[in-house]
């Protein structure tokens, strides 16, 4: 496979090198493409790459070095103090746990190099080995394509086939690097690189037990979200923010309370039932009165007309973003970037979103599996509510709750039914996950590759959490945090940081610590954030229980941009790799599709096709 221009085209990345002379060839290959360079105490290259000014803070004490990269408020003095305890990973983790924000933590102590990723997945860490036998070393980076480019790794077509699945929440296969020899550190883990070239992963975070009462958890969430937002707003002339649903409203109002000027954007919808604009205007009206009394920053509100925002599937044939993996955000790329481009034009370098709130705050009824033995009365009450709310057939509910088979067994079942029709819309949401399906245009070879990978991993696979519900929530958060990460990779080229405060470690911790039967209920809409935002979100909108969706934009986009979809079938890269039948895909794209039931199957395939093409067409930015 020819060069994918990762080092030259990616706007932001870093590479971590072990403290050994054996890493010198990799350093020499990467250094010409870097704008930032830090060194071990030995003088060897340690942390190199491209990152925006103000995103990295470094500290040192003796032979210890640490770097904090991302959205944080860590000062040089605090980094120096942290370096003093860096010889003890546990002590460094305890100190870093008090730092709000979203960041990578990298340390170098007496030859031992450690890279810590986030609890969920926005701050991912990848690693790969390079060099001849005897002199091989492990390198780490926040981007998988940077490592693939450095070691000359070929594309792993089997992993690419996995990315065709719908939905993309299949742990441990979904979202993995798409090159041979490049691997991802699991969320909540650290990677240690040693001078002899070895590497090992260690866990630093586990989900909390979930025993805190709602009232206590609401106060903790209010504090954690407030700190997460202040990290992003401090020292800025202004920030921009989404103002749409309940989750983004909470973030926006918290930002206003921080005292920094906020420019809020609400996208109007063609669907007459979409009520975001109504609630946004009520929010702004109420905020004006509250801020006048209690204080806060000025807020400026813009409603973006529906006709001014691109539809879904807009511009697929012209996208050249350099992502290190396919993302379903591709189909909505121009729609999403419309707001971020407005933010950049307004002078913002930080855009706050509510992405992630649904998975973290609404949770999943699958928690009933764990709730039933210890709290049978509460579980049965909730079960009746969910059954009525979603019109689940009672027989299927009972069958799902009585199914005690483990996660590995579930993976075997997924492998056996990859080409079945999607589950019924009234299928109870009580299993380990919605069983993913391969699309109708996937070739037998692609299906066989995914089935082989599933059966190989099933015997040793472990769920992400304790039981069905916790696993399901963490898998959903892992998937959406990848989306947030990819949006930030796109927006970085425009000079704007796309922030998702709900996926900060401290915010995730505060939410998951709350007792599931109080956090997740069919009787109230996101009760945890509703209680947490008392005194922050105006009372007139705090208890909003509606949520708009973009189904109309999806269906209209399919009609308006059908020609672009059909063009993807011509000279398809996926077809060349033998992963899809372009004729079947073309026939599917040529007919009317239901946005609720069918078009989701298209998203992963479109993402993979556009990703393969963009890797060849992306322009390289100016050199350092």
State pLDDT tens for residues 359-393: 999 999 999 999 999 899 999 999 999 999 999 99
List residues bridging with 129 in a β-sheet.
Answer: 138
193 is written with which tokens? Answer: 């690189």
Q: Are 192 and 239 in the same domain? A: no
Say yes or no to pLDDT of 621 above 60: no
Model confidence at 596, pLDDT cuts 50, 70, 90, reads low
Q: What is the biggest distance separating any 2 CA atoms in the chain, rounded to whole angstroms?
A: 69
Domain boundary among 542, 565, 599: 542
| Spatial separation of the C-alpha atoms in residues 177 and 532, rounded to whole Å | 37
Say yes or no to pLDDT of 1 above 60: no
Average pLDDT of the segment spanning 462-476: 96
Report how many domains make up the chain. 2
pLDDT for 391-450, tens place per residue?
A: 999 999 999 999 989 999 999 999 999 999 999 889 999 999 999 999 999 999 999 999
pLDDT given for residue 591 in this prediction: 84
Say yes or no to pLDDT of 272 above 90: no
Interaxial angle between packed helices 562-569 and 582-590, expressed in degrees from 0 to 180 and rounded to the nearest 10: 170
pLDDT given for residue 292 in this prediction: 57
C-alpha pair distances (Å), 166 with each of 62, 442, 477 = 51, 12, 16
User: Does residue 431 belong to any structural domain of this protein?
Assistant: no
User: Does residue 548 belong to any structural domain of this protein?
Assistant: no
Q: Are 53 and 197 in the same domain? A: yes
pLDDT given for residue 620 in this prediction: 47
Q: Are 181 and 60 in the same domain? A: yes
Q: Are 44 and 142 in the same domain? A: yes
Q: Are 190 and 224 in the same domain? A: no
Say yes or no to pLDDT of 220 above 80: yes
Q: Are 193 and 242 in the same domain? A: no
Q: Are 491 and 354 in the same domain? A: yes
Model confidence at 3, pLDDT cuts 50, 70, 90, reads very low
Model confidence at 291, pLDDT cuts 50, 70, 90, reads low
Domain boundary among 490, 507, 542: 542
Q: Are 15 and 109 in the same domain? A: yes
Name 524's Cβ contacts closer than 8 Å, sequence gap at least 6.
530
Q: Which domain holds residue 286?
A: 214-311+337-361+473-542
User: Does residue 259 belong to any structural domain of this protein?
Assistant: yes
The enclosing domain of 121 has a CATH number of: 3.60.20.10
The enclosing domain of 290 has a CATH number of: 3.40.50.620
Q: Are 183 and 94 in the same domain? A: yes
121 is written with which tokens? Answer: 């997945």
Rg (CA), the chain: 24
pLDDT given for residue 623 in this prediction: 42
User: Does residue 72 belong to any structural domain of this protein?
Assistant: yes
pLDDT for 18-59, tens place per residue?
A: 999 999 999 999 999 999 999 999 999 999 999 988 899 999
Prior bond of 298 cis (ω within 30°): no
Domain boundary among 542, 573, 600: 542
Q: Is 49 within 8 Å of 62 (Cβ atoms)?
A: no
User: Does residue 430 belong to any structural domain of this protein?
Assistant: no
pLDDT given for residue 594 in this prediction: 72
Q: Is 415 within 8 Å of 458 (Cβ atoms)?
A: yes
Average pLDDT of the segment spanning 457-464: 96
User: Does 549 or 573 have the greater pLDDT score?
Assistant: 573
User: Does residue 44 belong to any structural domain of this protein?
Assistant: yes
136 is written with which tokens? Answer: 């091989």
Q: Are 263 and 150 in the same domain? A: no
459 is written with which tokens? Answer: 């015997």
Q: What average pLDDT is seen over the chain?
A: 92
Model confidence at 135, pLDDT cuts 50, 70, 90, reads confident
Which residue, among 506, 442, 431, has the nearest Cα to 475 in the 3D structure?
A: 431
User: Does 42 or 550 have the greater pLDDT score?
Assistant: 42
Q: Are 232 and 184 in the same domain? A: no
Name 126's Cβ contacts closer than 8 Å, sequence gap at least 6.
140, 141, 142, 143, 144, 147, 177, 182, 183, 184, 185
Q: Are 352 and 490 in the same domain? A: yes
User: Does residue 226 belong to any structural domain of this protein?
Assistant: yes
pLDDT for 486-534, tens place per residue?
A: 999 999 888 999 999 999 999 999 999 999 999 999 999 999 999 999 9
Provide the percentage of residues in the chain whose pLDDT is more than 70.
96
pLDDT for 158-212, tens place per residue?
A: 999 999 999 999 999 999 999 999 999 999 999 999 988 899 999 999 999 999 9
Model confidence at 8, pLDDT cuts 50, 70, 90, reads confident
Q: Is 249 within 8 Å of 532 (Cβ atoms)?
A: no
User: Does residue 253 belong to any structural domain of this protein?
Assistant: yes
pLDDT given for residue 387 in this prediction: 95
């Amino acid at each position: 496979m020819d060069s994918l221009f990762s080092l030259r085209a990616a706007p932001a990345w870093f590479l971590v090198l072990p403290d050994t002379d054996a890493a010198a060839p990799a350093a020499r290959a990467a250094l010409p493409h870097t704008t930032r360079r830090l060194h071990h105490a030995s003088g060897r290259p340690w942390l190199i790459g491209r990152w925006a000014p103000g995103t990295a803070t470094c500290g040192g004490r003796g032979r210890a070095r640490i770097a904090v990269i991302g959205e944080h408020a860590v000062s040089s003095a605090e980094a120096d103090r942290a370096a003093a305890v860096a010889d003890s990973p546990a002590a460094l983790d305890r100190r870093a746990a008090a730092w709000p924000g979203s960041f990578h933590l990298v340390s170098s102590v007496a030859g031992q190099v450690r890279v810590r990723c986030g609890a969920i997945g926005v701050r991912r860490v990848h690693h790969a080995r390079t060099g001849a036998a005897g002199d091989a070393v492990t390198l780490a980076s926040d981007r998988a394509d940077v490592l693939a480019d450095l070691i000359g790794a070929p594309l792993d077509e089997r992993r690419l086939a996995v990315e065709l699945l719908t939905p993309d929440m299949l742990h441990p296969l979904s979202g993995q690097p798409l090159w041979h020899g490049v691997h991802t550190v699991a969320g909540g883990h650290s990677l240690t690189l040693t001078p002899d070239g070895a590497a090992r992963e260690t866990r630093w975070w586990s989900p909390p037990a979930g025993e805190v009462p709602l009232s206590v958890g609401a106060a903790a969430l209010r504090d954690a979200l407030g700190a997460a937002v202040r990290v992003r707003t401090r020292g800025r002339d202004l920030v921009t923010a989404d103002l749409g649903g309940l989750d983004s409203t909470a973030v926006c109002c918290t930002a206003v309370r921080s005292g920094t000027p906020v420019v809020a954007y609400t996208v109007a919808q063609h669907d007459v039932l979409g009520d975001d604009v109504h609630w946004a205007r009520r929010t702004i009206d109420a905020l004006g009165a509250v801020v006048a009394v209690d204080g806060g920053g000025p807020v400026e509100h813009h409603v973006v007309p529906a006709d001014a925002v691109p539809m879904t599937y807009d511009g697929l044939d012209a996208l050249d973003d350099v992502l290190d993996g396919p993302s379903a955000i591709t189909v909505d790329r121009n729609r999403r970037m419309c707001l971020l481009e407005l933010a950049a034009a307004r002078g913002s370098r930080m855009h706050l979103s509510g992405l992630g709130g649904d998975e973290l705050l609404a949770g999943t009824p699958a928690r009933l599996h764990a709730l039933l033995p210890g709290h049978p009365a509460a579980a049965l009450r909730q079960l009746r509510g969910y059954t009525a709310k979603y019109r689940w057939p009672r027989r299927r509910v009972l069958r799902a709750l009585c199914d005690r088979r483990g996660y590995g067994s579930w993976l075997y079942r997924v492998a056996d039914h990859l080409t079945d029709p999607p589950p019924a819309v009234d299928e109870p949401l009580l299993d380990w996950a919605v069983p993913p399906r391969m699309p109708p245009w996937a070739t037998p070879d692609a299906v066989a590759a995914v089935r082989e990978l599933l059966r190989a991993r099933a015997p040793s696979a472990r769920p992400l959490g304790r039981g069905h519900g916790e696993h399901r929530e963490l898998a959903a958060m892992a998937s959406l945090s990848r989306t947030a990460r990819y949006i930030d990779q796109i927006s970085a080229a425009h000079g704007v940081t796309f922030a998702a405060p709900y996926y900060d470690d401290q915010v995730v911790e505060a939410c998951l610590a709350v007792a599931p039967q109080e956090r997740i209920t069919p009787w109230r809409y996101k009760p945890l954030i509703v209680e947490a935002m008392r005194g922050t979100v105006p009372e007139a909108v705090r208890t909003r229980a509606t949520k708009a969706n973009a189904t109309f934009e999806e269906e209209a986009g399919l009609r308006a941009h059908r020609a672009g979809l059909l063009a993807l079938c011509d000279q398809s890269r996926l077809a060349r790799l033998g992963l899809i039948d372009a004729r079947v895909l073309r026939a599917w794209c040529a007919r009317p599709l239901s946005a609720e039931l069918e078009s989701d199957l298209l998203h992963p395939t479109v993402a993979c096709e556009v990703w393969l093409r963009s890797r060849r067409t992306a322009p390289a930015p100016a050199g350092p």
